[in-house]
Structure 1
């Protein structure tokens, strides 16, 4: 799936950096709901646009380094947090390479041999990947190694196919010069790759691993048409594009084909639209202080009265009544 997952941990990291997230989303032409609640998914193009805009808004050539310095174990989602539970960097890299696909279509390659540990990144549409994003993903591993070992570990090689501003500052942070290479990669000495993590926690890994394996198995199972429509609606509703034609275009099929596939699953577009709107409405009412008017807008209604009528039909209550009961 061509989707990058973004979650609450990203909001924490950006808040620590003093970034105005709403401004970044506005400039990137992305709905505020993307980062406002829970976990959302962005296409590769949207994810790249977000990072390019973030880089522009912050206006700091050292943004990847600032992010690396702001990394904390508690701000990561489970696939990445599990890295901190590993006994060392080599094991952490292997685990992340296995579960990286749960976060997005970035392919992660681990090469342990010749006395080094090389970690390479293979981006979708690599030529379009923002430089700040590419550098940040590489710097993450340096930051992880330093945080987990409490040692100023320096990679033996750091290479990326992007222009690096302030090369002196990057060299000072990394302890090695930034080289140019077609494939982004960071390489560590074997002694550093095997240096024990002070954050190692076998019990935590045993807790996370079954859920990660289950999610990985689910991700390798093709989603149903109903699930694909739900995912598309989550992206399109805030833009007021809750029509079968808009969803069909998003999924690159004709409206007739989309409706036929939904019927084969004993469903319909209107049924999926209704259940998606109801679930989102209940979520917004129970987890935020947004007004009914704001929720109505995020659900793609033309006017608030239509939302009120629909909500009463779903629940038998008004939004205010349901929020009070919750």
Structure 2
């Protein structure tokens, strides 16, 4: 089985907490973590310990503005490379894409970015069941902070949706400049013009320095993923070029096809099941996010002919691609 994923939390947090007026040792003790944890670089916590750290932060809150103060204490000099790299971007839209790419290094949360004429839409999905409500709002605080640091302008989101409200949402809303609303997911939207306002912190040379190391770290993290996860990642790239066969995928994973199938069986799945799951996930993405026809999607998913795709899609979803597209586009709040 694959190892437990871990997430970096280093010395920068000691300075951030100090600026926010928080005793980091008290937080660590409440979280049942070593007192000297934040005295070291590149400390890595498993999911349970990572969440305990932030739950301990939240549990110690006596000031309604705490999460805002914490956000304001986040200065570039305290940023990890995974946070500083987005600040080197030419604009918020690019920064969000880079943040999404390296978000798995920062915590058990995925970030999906949609940049279009109607605005920049960021959707966050925690991979953990119990997350303090304040942490939902903190994602909106941080991306807004990043936008303001980069542009030197009072950028504010046009919409903030959270699954659960903080105990006192007013300080969050005062900082964001917009009312938060309840929804099924965490979603932050910015005006298209603000999303492409040039960052004064743009620095291609620094990005060129950070990017290879971040890519290496992401590769290390992905090596800790399940074999099904790794297979799915290869298929996502390989299917559009018609290279989604078991031999090709096995070669890219540097194993034999027999080993690939054996490893998947040990995880309770099969190559065919992972292919179907990946194809269905990609199909839903294309139907929701693009105007491609079902025939175009079929070929992107590696089907030789559209009729095979239609039959498979009916088996996966019980409906047709166009019917599902109508359902997806009519329900913008759905996950």
Identify the TM-score tier after normalising by the shorter chain.
0.5 to 0.7
2:59 aligns with 56
Q: 1:221 to 1:2 in 2, by over 3 A?
A: closer
2:164 aligns with 162
Tell whether 2:30 aligns with 1:27.
yes
**Alignment partners' CA distance in 2, 1:58 and 1:170:** 14
Q: 1:113 to 1:64 in 2, by over 3 A?
A: same
2:182 aligns with 180
1:188 is displaced (CA, Å) by 0.3
Any idea what SS the aligned residue of 1:107 has? Answer: strand
Are the counterparts in 2 of residues 82 and 208 from structure 1 also a CA contact under 8 Å? yes
1:10 is displaced (CA, Å) by 1.2
1:104 is displaced (CA, Å) by 2.5
**Alignment partners' CA distance in 2, 1:206 and 1:91:** 14
**Alignment partners' CA distance in 2, 1:215 and 1:58:** 33
1:99 aligns with 102
2:10 aligns with 7
CA deviation digits over 1:127-160, x for unaligned, max 9?
x011222221221000111111111111000111
Are the counterparts in 2 of residues 52 and 130 from structure 1 also a CA contact under 8 Å? yes
Q: Normalising by structure 1, report the TM-score.
A: 0.64
1:205 is displaced (CA, Å) by 0.6
**Alignment partners' CA distance in 2, 1:211 and 1:168:** 39
Q: Normalising by structure 2, report the TM-score.
A: 0.63
1:84 aligns with 87
**Alignment partners' CA distance in 2, 1:151 and 1:104:** 28
**Alignment partners' CA distance in 1, 2:214 and 2:30:** 34
**Alignment partners' CA distance in 1, 2:62 and 2:209:** 40
Q: Which moved more, 1:116-125 or 1:62-71?
A: 62-71
**Alignment partners' CA distance in 2, 1:222 and 1:80:** 22
Count of aligned residue pairs for this structure pair: 222
Any idea what SS the aligned residue of 2:60 has? Answer: helix
1:219 is displaced (CA, Å) by 2.2
2:210 aligns with 208
2:75 aligns with 72
Are the counterparts in 1 of residues 85 and 207 from structure 2 also a CA contact under 8 Å? yes
Are the counterparts in 2 of residues 155 and 174 from structure 1 also a CA contact under 8 Å? yes
CA deviation digits over 1:41-77, x for unaligned, max 9?
2222222222121122232222221122222111110
Are the counterparts in 2 of residues 2 and 104 from structure 1 also a CA contact under 8 Å? no
Are the counterparts in 2 of residues 63 and 132 from structure 1 also a CA contact under 8 Å? no
2:123 aligns with 120
Runs ≥4 residues deviating over 4 A: none
Any idea what SS the aligned residue of 1:112 has? Answer: strand
1:140 aligns with 142
Are the counterparts in 2 of residues 162 and 180 from structure 1 also a CA contact under 8 Å? yes
**Alignment partners' CA distance in 2, 1:43 and 1:210:** 24
Give ranges in structure 1 of 5+ residues lacking alignment.
224-326
1:114 is displaced (CA, Å) by 4.3
2:196 aligns with 194
